Amino acid sequence: MTVGRNLIVPLLTFMLASCASVQTQDEIGVTVEAEADAYAQNKDKLGLVLLDARWARQWKCGRYENAQLVSFSFDKFPLSARPDDAPADIAIGTTSLLAVSPKFESYALLVAPGEYALSSFKIKTAKSVSDVGYWVASRSHLIKDSKPLGGKFNVVPGEAVYIGNFALDCYEGPTLWRYYATGQDGFRKQLSDYKSKYPFLDLTNVKFRLFETSTIGRPYELK
Taking only the tens place, the pLDDT of each residue in 129-150 is 888 888 899 999 999 988 999 9
What is the reported pLDDT for 17?
40
pTM exceeds 0.85, yes or no: yes
Residue 19 pLDDT: 42
Per-residue pLDDT of the chain (223 residues; tens, 9 = 90+): 443 343 334 344 434 444 443 333 444 557 889 999 999 999 999 999 999 999 988 899 988 998 999 999 999 999 888 899 999 999 998 866 666 777 899 999 999 999 999 999 999 998 988 888 888 999 999 999 889 999 999 999 999 999 999 999 998 889 999 999 999 999 999 999 999 999 999 999 999 999 999 999 999 999 8
- pLDDT (0 to 100) of residue 131: 86
In DSSP notation, the chain reads -----S---HHHHHHHHT-EE--------BSSB--HHHHHHHTTTSEEEEEEE--S-EEEETTEEEEEEEEEEEEESS-----TTSPPSEEEE-S-SSS--SS-EEEEEEE-SEEEEEEEEEEEEEEETTEEEEEEE-HHHHEETTEESS-EEEE-TT-EEEEEEEEEE-SSS-EEEEE---HHHHHHHHHHHHHHH-TT---TT-EE-PPB-SSSB------
pLDDT at position 148: 94
